[in-house]
Chain A
């Protein structure tokens, strides 16, 4: 897709995203401070699809927001191709959990907003480029619809196109398929893999679903629970292109159990913590009895 009229070609645009010793503490008045990330480091390799898995509430989204530049670390830094970055920029486009399509623009207007706003491309060039992408994800006939007229899965596809039109160096996807039904979700995963293989973009994909992680990833990083750091890194050396056949292979099961073991340890910690709270509550009730 690098040769569909874009002035800056694609191949050299892939970037390497490095998170270096990032710590982020949330301090709310009147509440104990919460360390979301503690000395967290990870490298998202050039042209690889890295998936970050972790139990919900472990600081994954905080990490994504910092990587995208919407939030700032208390210490540590974010580097793109070795260059430290602060603030958000078009080199790191993020696809969100909730749809972020602009509801007053049609699908095509959404997709061409970036390049035309920046004046990088004429409207017709931007439209040509967007149409190539929209066609790839089956939205060609929906270009003049408003986001509210699309299904959840179509909205996510439109959003992927909108991000890809920008030629980002890194794409950050924060649980982009959460809330979709199982069928749509599987289809979306296939669309994403197709786009990934055609563009070879560097992607950081965040999810709490192991199957999703295994199906997509070149490399899986399991995050610890609060404070979040990378606990284990698992190379997902499953052959590409992948389809759902891969779920039946022995290698898939091996990697899955490896990731699950690591993840469930973290999950168990939450429950232990909850048990602790239960004990506390029990004690309080006991002591309030006459």
Chain B
């Protein structure tokens, strides 16, 4: 019932209400709530090693204070923009590269070894060289973020193209489709699920990477915010930073998932 209403274009208020009362939402909320209960118990000294952690209530107060500073929201904006630049650039370059490698044998032979040499280098290992290379720290961080998402999307797209069932292409060829038509009308749509998977994995990695890069090289952003709280021994601030990062990643994943659902109406059935 709830699921049906989310699909059939019911009014938003009804969809929200159905979702809130759905088992899915209740189960998810239970886990989050349970987490806070255990945390509260731990910081009250009921669990070992956790006495140094501020209670959820202290953190909530710190959160409230943070939310009234311009710096906090500026951190959100800065980190989000870096993620966006890196992520979008990775898709713009990575999707065509993956498709090209999957579609053209010679191009794959040409580019694959270099690609596989670069791929194991962790994004953070690129920090020193990108600081030296790029004119501003801002570009450096966006570049490192780009690295985080780029290899993932290429690997996924390449895998997706290689896994297209042969008969889907054969059928189009025997209907008289030119190679160009096969590419645009068969290969590309058949690869969309892999593209979306690559995007889902990639958006998570970009948030991991951007936070780490900000701690090393940044002057702003949610990573820097967390790091500064640490340097100031402001423990509730550290946790506010962490929760904010978690929220940012969650919202981004949801956004990517919505794009995925929109790109794949045939997956969203029943």
Contacts and interface: CB of A to CB of B under 8 A. Distances in A.
Interface in B178-204: 181, 185-186, 189-190, 192
Q: Dominant SS at the A interface?
A: loop
Contact of A118 (B176, B189, B192): B176
B165, B167, B174, B186: which has the most chain A beta carbons within 10 Å? B174
B167 A100 contact: yes
A208 B224 CA distance: 68
Given A98-B165, A118-B176, A103 B266 contact: yes
A131 interface: no
Contact of B167 (A69, A96, A146): A96
A90 B171 CA distance: 10
B14 interface: no
B168 A100 contact: yes
A100 B175 contact: no
A117 B185 contact: yes
Contact of B171 (A96, A103, A118, A147): A96
Contacts of A69: 174
A69 B176 CA distance: 12
A268 interface: no
Given A88-B170, A96-B167, A104 B175 contact: no
B261 to A, nearest CB: 13
A286 B98 CA distance: 53
Contacts of A52: none
B21 interface: no
A89 B172 CA distance: 10
Given A100-B165, A103-B266, A117-B181, A92 B176 contact: no
Interface in A105-155: 105, 113-114, 117-118, 146-149
Interface of B: 165, 167-168, 170-177, 181, 185-186, 189-190, 192, 264-266, 269-270
Given A98-B165, A117-B185, A104 B266 contact: yes
Contacts of B266: 103-105, 146-148
Nearest to B186: A102
A90 B265 CA distance: 29
Contacts of B270: 149
A94 to B, nearest CB: 6
A102 B189 contact: yes
A166 interface: yes
A68 B186 CA distance: 19
Interface string A53-71: 0000000000000001110
Contacts of B170: 68, 70, 88, 94, 96, 100
A204 interface: no
28 contacts: A68-B170, A68-B174, A69-B174, A88-B173, A88-B174, A89-B174, A90-B176, A93-B174, A94-B171, A94-B174, A96-B167, A96-B171, A102-B168, A102-B171, A102-B186, A102-B190, A104-B266, A105-B266, A114-B175, A114-B176, A117-B176, A117-B181, A118-B176, A146-B266, A146-B269, A148-B266, A148-B269, A149-B269
Contacts of A147: 266
Contacts of B171: 94, 96, 100, 102
